[in-house]
Amino acid sequence: MVAAFKKNVHDEPSSSEEESQESDEEDSEVVEDRRYGAIERTPCVVHTLQLVVNMIQKDLSVKPLLDRIRVLVRLFRKSSVAIQRLLKLCGLTLVKDCPTRWSSTYLMI
pLDDT at 93 over 80: yes
CB 94 within 8 A of CB 108: yes
pLDDT tens, position by position, 32-60:
666 666 666 667 887 888 788 888 888 88
| pTM confidence score | 0.50
- The rounded distance, in Å, linking the Cα atoms of 103 and 105 is 5
- The rounded distance, in Å, linking the Cα atoms of 88 and 50 is 34
CB 96 within 8 A of CB 78: no
